[in-house]
Structure 1
Amino acid sequence: MASQRSESDGAPHSARSIMLSSSSSRSSSSRDSDMASKLQNATCLSIRVLQEITDNFSNERKIGQGAYGEVYVAEAENGENVAVKMLYNNMPGIDDEQFQREFENLMTLEHQNIVRLVGYCYETQHQPMHYMGRTIFAERTYRALCFEYMENGSLEKHLSDECDGLDWHTRYKIIKGTCEGLKHLHEGLDEPIYHLDLKPDNILLDKNMVPKLADFGLSKLFGDKQTRISHSPIGTIGYLPMEYLHGNIVSNKLDIFSLGVVMIKIIAGRRGYSKSAEMDHQEFLDQVHENWRDRMLKTCQASRQLEAHYEQVNVCTKIALSCMEIDRHKRPNITDIIHQMNDIEAVIDK
């Protein structure tokens, strides 16, 4: 994306810095200036440009929405599609924090399994409105993040049981890529980042079905103290462990629990996940193994390769169940998980 010019106040809109407002209000200017100093290394787009490339945020361009904003597909100047996440403007005091956290987290992340930030908009306008017979100027701040467009959408829409849908090779690639992205967050940075809302809706798939973690609005940087008590609501019911639901405890093992739920849904679908809660572990493992054996036999692969893939299904299912242990101390860390997956890959490659 090339740098653009803002039409809101005639002030230049630079790719390296953003002039957010020409208002004489010192409190507003001070706040905007503080935010602007943090937004230095991504392409800056004016709200006018975003309105143009999304057809004024039309329903036809809308591809999703969440707790914090709506997402639109748009075409950038270079002809590539981008996803524009426009944050809601109805949470004063929380909006800036939400925007700043996601922006700063994304700016530090460069990994093939984490969605790439390509631009942003943070622009305050003073718009005229009529009030009690007078014209007054109301302040409105537009906040948007622009990401690489993921052609295959979210993982959520691709979930199915073992009998149909994605083949095992693709499912395994999604599981492994998701784990690699999470490993980068937990162990590949100077200070770990916990995602805190890992779920199929927040795992996006590119045209080659490569998974990329997205939606970092709830994520947090953790320094030396890597287990904390959180009094702010996080995550999505169904993906949160007991220690958070009952004690608000947040650690890397919260993400690991969420990963386990995601893995079960990738392996066995939504109904399979429901069954996993009703069966003991061995019974569930046997059923998943049998379902995948029936499907793989129809593909007429070599018997040696079949056995290797059966073992891969078995290992991934065991990992997922261990991630969902009630006692967080019994859950594996992300490095252990990837080591187990690498070991079984080595068997297949022999």
Structure 2
Amino acid sequence: MASDASRGESLERQQSLPTLPSKLTLDYLKKITNDFSPDRELGHSAFGTYYKGIRGNGDILAVKKLAENSPLPREKTFVNEVTNLMALQHENITELVSFCREAQIKLDQREGRYVAVHIDESLLCYKYLSKGSLDLHLFDETHNKIDWDKRFKIIKGICQGLRFLHKELDRPLVHMNLVPSSIWLDDNWVPKIADFGLSRLFGEQTQVYTKNVVGQNGYMAPEYLFNGEITTGLDIYSLGMIILEIVTGERNGANREDRAATKFVDKVRQDWKTDDDITCKYPSLTDFGLEQVKACIVIALKCLEADQNKRPSIEDIIDKLNGKFVPIFQQHE
């Protein structure tokens, strides 16, 4: 009988087109990522690590290796959920093209003895985007400075992707970990939300509350951070922080003592109040661009309301970005 590795090589020869089978072997994914080599790492998230997978025909995959023994459902449910996620198509979400789920036995040293431990290895394969994640461009000074038009395009694209997840599916899909590193960019600076289905895979979306609070300081809404409450308002809060970071080009600087990044938010309120403050940061800004920046700051600060009932919906946000009158934002004007 052929080994998993030889089946992977056979698969490679058969798949000369970009389309892949929905399920791949672990040996095959080890091969194309050089056994998950550190020099193939593309980035990390709260749920695992991305690796660059280079196929024999030159095609590249972004292979996400989920943390070992993540709280995933049984095989059948996992496959069903992943299959549903692979069917989702939108310009502003990453394309999930295949997956892997295999049981492995590893030796673990405990109290001086080696013990056989059963591990479920779970991996998700996405279409690779060469520009990488948004955080690489916002905060890395070695990259070219992003002009305001690109920043605004990115903000609108993220919002459109979030509207798809919140409003256009059979039930709202809460991302739960929306951060700059989970937003990828294509060659035309079109943003695409990644990691958008992990909350369903981990079963969190079947609950209103969770005890397993996972995320990055600065992006977690207070009702989730302190109470484990899961609603679309969680993503809206995260979006507000991301918009402030896109507008300012600065990290929010959250830490254990300032988990809500209040110092950063207060600094934005102080340093971006007037038209002169804004044009000082963007000297070549047109009058139309100035209004866009001001609208984005108003939106972001409203998204960061501690009371989730005072936050706007994603539809309110998109209407405001499109220049429409939206009552919920008036008090922040």
Q: TM-score, normalised by structure 2?
A: 0.75
1-structure distance, mates of 2:323, 2:161: 19
Distance 2:249 2:273 in 1: 16
Structure 1 counterpart of 2:280, which letter?
D
Q: Which moved more, 1:242-251 or 1:260-269?
A: 242-251
Cα distance change on mapping 1:73 and 1:330 into 2, 3 Å: same
Correspondence 1:112 to 2:91: yes
Residue ranges of structure 1 left out of the alignment (5+ in a row): 16-40, 130-135, 345-350
- Tell me, in whole angstroms, the C-alpha distance in 2 between the residues paired with 1:43 and 1:112: 21
- CA offsets, 1:75-113, max 9 Å, x none? 234422111112233x27x24469939735632421111
Distance change in 2, residues 1:279/1:147 (3 Å)? closer
Q: 2:131 aligns with which of 129, 149, 152?
A: 152
| Secondary structure of 2:146's aligned partner | coil
Please, which of 171, 182, 207 is the counterpart of residue 191 of structure 1? 171
2:39 equivalent to 1:60 = yes
Match of 1:200 among 171, 180, 186: 180
Name the % identity: 36
Query: Out of 227, 239, 244, which is 2:219 matched to?
Result: 239
Question: 2:209 corresponds to which residue?
Answer: 229
1:100 is aligned to 2:78: yes
Distance in 1 of aligned mates of 2:64 and 2:23? 14
Equivalent position of 1:294 in the other structure: 280
Amino acid at match of 1:286: K
Match of 1:260 among 240, 245, 251: 240
CA RMSD across the alignment? 3.7
1:36 aligned residue: none
Query: 1:142 is matched with which residue: 115, 121, 126?
Result: 121
Change (3 A) 1:13 1:44: farther
Unaligned runs of 5+ in 2: 12-19, 109-114, 253-260, 325-333
Aligned residues: 294
SS of residue in 2 equivalent to 1:60: helix
- Which amino acid is the alignment partner of residue 318 of structure 1? V
What is the Cα deviation at residue 206 of structure 1? 1.6
Please give the per-residue CA displacement for 1:277-331, whole angstroms capped at 9, x wherever unaligned. 33584x44425x434413543x4x7xxxx10000010011101111111221111
On the 8 A contact 1:159/1:269 being kept in 2, the answer is yes
Aligned to 2:265: 277
AA aligned opposite 1:257: Y
Selected match of 1:311 from 287, 291, 294: 291
Larger radius of gyration: 1
Give the Å deviation of 1:227.
Answer: 9.0
